[in-house]
Structure 1
Amino acid sequence: MRQPHKKRIQVAVSILSEVAKRVNELDRGALVDYLRKTYEKTGLSPIRGKTLPPDIYDKELTTLYVIGKYGLGLAQDYPYMFSKIFYVEENLDMALDLILQGDIEGAREKIKSVSPTGVVDGNMIARLLRIPLTKFILGFMSEDEFTRILHAVYNAFPEEKKTVKSYVKFFIGLKLAEAIYRGEIRSREYKEAFKRALAIRIGFPKTTPSDEYVKAVAEAVFNMSKKELSRVLRVEEEEKDTGEEEDK
């Protein structure tokens, strides 16, 4: 079976090894640039939806953070590296813990402390959810834990329910694309059943992505061709804008 995240993990480990050696000379901006160049060289794309926002590589530092902290245990060995470079992810991770503990105001302050605008907005909620999403798809969190966080954030920030639903759609699209890549979905009928079962299981039964959206994610994240995707997805030759919002 194809392993969709093997290369991403290998590249992340290599980058983290380099960062540990050069932590005194690197800052967050330099690492973002290094990550972008490494991805371009190795043919990787950030974990993303249909578009390529300008700050996507800054957001992709979440992958390095998750693998470094939860996969390699580097936060204990290199605390300075995490506080110097991964301070955004550290604060958002702490905000997630506070949300689960019921301290919503404390979580808001943590999010505001690393928000470019100083407020809790859709972009920051998407960044917040990127941490558990990355942990889940890389095997550091169970689906039940991820689902619990989705609902906790949904209830904690009622003004951003639309953002959470948009992220749920992105998550389902990503999992569908991954399942197609692995060869677990071989028919359109099973694709529909998989999509609806996943949406129901995580508690958002009406929040599902279109085939065009899944195709865009599969092409961007897993480099899949239109030919192999057309076997299980209903997509037109010239795709129309479905009006689906991005995960930011």
Structure 2
Amino acid sequence: MERKPRGVSIRRRVSILMDVWERLLEEWEKGALTRERAVEILKEVYSRERIKPLKGAANPPDLFEKELASLYVVGKYGMGLESDYPELFDKVFHDEIRYEEAIKILLTEEPSTARMKVETLLGGSFDENTIARMLRLKLAEVYFGFSNQDSLKTLLKRLSEAFPEYKDMASKYARFYIAFKIADNIQKGEVRDRLTKEATKQALALEFSWLGRKVLPDDKYIRVIAEDVFNLNNRILDSILPKSKGRRGRREEKRLEPPEK
């Protein structure tokens, strides 16, 4: 029986995030927990475990602050901690709570109403960076199994309808998601060769066909995510994806990233 690639699995990532939560609760009991301290702990634990946040090719300076979305999702939906520690969530995850509310508005309201309510909720901070953070939260929900791909697809469509000026960003995010999903499937052992990879890519692109062919990610971009996020090695990837072309290739893929300011 063929062995599944190792890399960083969902189970391992959840286990690591639960370790982070254990540290957070200790700090909370001491009265020393802040959002900034949560970011520090997250970074310390990830460094110790040698994993990176959920991401594309870019490495923005506030990457770990953005990774609080994963911590929020696992803590709220996986561990059920929000009901026991509502003040902790309000203090540390105030941004994620607002983004989640904005997502609910976009998914349930008519475009014109949704636009008005989201702008009111998020105020002057509503820009490409805010949208990227909001979409990251939905990505975390989908990746950890607390939401589904259809919900993400609907969110991108509703975002484009309510904020047509950001439709290009929705397209870029769909491209990132497809690359991320394929890398995830490689780690799970569901994609083992180039033929399956290409079939998966085309099937996923069809799900976002309303955004056009621009949602198809380059194989080098998929490889960057597979290497950086899922810790998959060359032996596994060489039979599925072409090798990256060093810094130049990474700069090219960074250009395809949704803005992360």
Do both share a fold (TM > 0.5)? yes
**CA offsets 1:180-218 (integer angstroms, 9 cap, x no match):** 112211221221110010111244451111011001101
Give matches, 1:42-121, under 5 Å.
Answer: 42-102=49-109, 103-112=114-123, 118-121=124-127
Are the aligned partners of 2:178 and 2:216 in contact in 1 as well (CA < 8 Å)? yes
Structure 1 residue runs of 5 or longer lacking an equivalent are 113-117
Are the aligned partners of 2:179 and 2:217 in contact in 1 as well (CA < 8 Å)? yes
Post-superposition shift, 1:227?
2.9
CA distance in 2, matches of 1:105, 1:148: 19
- Report the equivalent of 1:145: 151
Structure 2 residue runs of 5 or longer lacking an equivalent are none
Post-superposition shift, 1:34?
1.1
Give matches, 1:177-188, under 5 Å.
Answer: 177-188=183-194
Post-superposition shift, 1:177?
0.5
Give matches, 1:1-248, under 5 Å.
Answer: 1=4, 4-23=9-28, 24-102=31-109, 103-112=114-123, 118-203=124-209, 204-206=211-213, 207-235=215-243, 237-238=245-246, 240=249, 241-242=251-252, 244-247=255-258, 248=260
Look up the equivalent residue of 1:221 and give its one-letter code.
V
TM-score (normalizing by structure 2): 0.87
Are the aligned partners of 1:212 and 1:234 in contact in 2 as well (CA < 8 Å)? yes
Specify which structure has the bigger relative contact order, considering alpha-carbon pairs within 8 angstroms and separated by 6 or more residues.
Answer: 2
CA distance in 1, matches of 2:127, 2:184: 29
Aligned length: 243
Are the aligned partners of 1:98 and 1:107 in contact in 2 as well (CA < 8 Å)? yes
Post-superposition shift, 1:108?
1.7
TM-score (normalizing by structure 1): 0.92
**CA offsets 1:14-41 (integer angstroms, 9 cap, x no match):** 2112222322211001110111111001
Look up the equivalent residue of 2:82 and give its one-letter code.
A
Q: Indicate the SS of the match to 1:63.
A: helix
Post-superposition shift, 1:109?
2.3
CA distance in 2, matches of 1:138, 1:205: 27
**CA offsets 1:68-87 (integer angstroms, 9 cap, x no match):** 11111111111001100000
